[in-house]
Amino acid sequence: MSKKVIIGSRGSDLALWQAYRVKSQLEDLGCTVELEIIQTQGDKIQDLSFDKMEGKGFFTKEIEEALLNKKIDLAVHSHKDLETNAPRGLLVAAVSDREDPSELLLIRKEAVNSSKRFSMKEKAIVGTSSARRKSQLLAFRSDIEIKELRGNVPTRINKLREGDYDAIMLAKAGVTRLKIDLSEFHVVTLDPKEFIPAPAQGVLGLQIRENDTELFKLLQQMNDRSVQKRIYIERKVLNLLDGGCQLPLGVYCEEEYGIMKTWVSQAETWEGIPKRLYAENTSAEEIVELLKAKESKRVFISRELKSDSDFKRFLPKGYKLHDESLIEIVPVPFEETPESDWIFFSSSNAVSAFFENKPSYKDGTKFGVIGKATGKALAKYAQADYIGKGNTQKVAKRFVKALGKGSALFPVSDKSLRTIQKKLPKTQVTELIVYKTIQKLDFKLPESDVLVFTSPSNVEAFFNTENSISDQRVISIGETTRKELLKHNVNSVVPWQSYELAMLDMVLAN
């Protein structure tokens, strides 16, 4: 096809990278392509945060006007910048594949504290002008100070370099596309299911005039329909809530085995604790209704939760919580620590019991854990060299590669199910009992709508009393706990990860 296409783009490094990528793709399809740089309101005004700027479309309005006036034929946008109600006469004809939608925290190395959430020191000064980022950051770390941060990606990174901030938050997609060297900073990548990104983050939107049918047909060869399907839900939620950059809203969708999974974080203002929601195969309209609903459920979890736990922090008002472990943890003293190349922990209890005994181990010993919660517990004492995610089969398979021909010590309980150890060569494994579990036999289940079990031992203790399960929703922390429940003919659901925020998402699920 022989066609001349004029692309309109902002002039930032990232915007130009995006425009040149699309230019290259169009040229591969036989087009002649020119590039027109257009300055937007968001580029001109650098001294105000987004929530203080009037209207919407800070980074798109002038480009859309050029498109309507036929000065350009195609606008290349970061899709998250586009208004959800397109100007009359324009449409998004195609979307790109999705770069990693995660958020990045860039932290000055002198401001790192690995024992704190997100590895930031106490009372860190964090730069961002996004209401969504502010809301979620303060929900997780109420001690930090938020300081406004504007400018393109290199400008913002330079402000961090100059010491104006202890840390800044950026979209990983932009940093990846620009191939920026971040070696001088401590970099934390935040799971998009935990710290929920902006709708359509990491996706390019290709916008044209509605009546340009020839260009529309051409762009279908570049359209990623799978991404289009997922971000439709994300942006429709934003549209129904009538939001823009000022709305503290994160929405993220992924499709797995035919199931569309959606995570949402929404707050009324950026100073408020956001409401979380997790839904499966649910329309945007239904998601918005669930966000507006004021439910009241009675929840039991078989763990004594700390005052700053994610489960407590994000549990909606109106919910009643009973948190109580059905087992007691009794440390087992040990005099010598068996020598090994690795020390691997499968629970937070094992971490605490092991290090409270003040063990001695050789320099260069590496540490492995299963699950993020165990990794967080380990961070108080040592840095994890391996954090296993997913089911035990996958964790064991990956750890075997990391272990190589080395040896591994497993600090365990007296009732360990040995889920990881059993999948490793016996000659490379040593076990050390560091705590015992004692069941509470006087536990009486309070009236509950949802039951959350956090270990096989808690399940066993539950059924060793007169307790029973009838019509409650049951959630198990992982596969081994689910299998223990199945022994008692109880079906349960397993969250996307084995830590509190994921378990809460299952409590709130539709």
Point out the residues that are catalytic: 81
In whole angstroms, what is the distance from residue 393 CA to residue 414 CA?
22
In whole angstroms, what is the distance from residue 510 CA to residue 495 CA?
13
In whole angstroms, what is the distance from residue 138 CA to residue 119 CA?
14
- Residue 303: phi, psi to the nearest 5? -160, 140
- Residues near 416 by Cβ (< 8 Å), separated by ≥ 6? 346, 410, 431
Residue 469 corresponds to which tokens in the numbers above? 């399960």
Q: What are the beta bridge partners of residue 7?
A: 35, 74
Closest CA to 42 of 32, 52, 33, 34: 52
Closest CA to 111 of 188, 16, 221, 50: 188
- Dmax of the chain from CA atoms? 80
Measured N-to-C along each axis, helices 456-463 and 479-486 cross at an angle, to the nearest 10 degrees, of 20
Q: How many CB atoms lie within 10 A of CB 133?
A: 26
Residue type, 294: K
Residue 123 corresponds to which tokens in the numbers above? 């009372």
Q: What are the beta bridge partners of residue 261?
A: 254, 280
DSSP string, 12-35: SHHHHHHHHHHHHHHHHTT-EEEE
- Residues near 329 by Cβ (< 8 Å), separated by ≥ 6? 349, 352, 353, 435, 436, 437
| Helix (H), strand (E) at residue 111 | none
In whole angstroms, what is the distance from residue 477 CA to residue 482 CA?
8
- Residues near 335 by Cβ (< 8 Å), separated by ≥ 6? none
In whole angstroms, what is the distance from residue 388 CA to residue 371 CA?
6
Residue 30's region, left for phi above 0, alpha for psi from -120 to 50, else beta, is left
In whole angstroms, what is the distance from residue 249 CA to residue 246 CA?
9
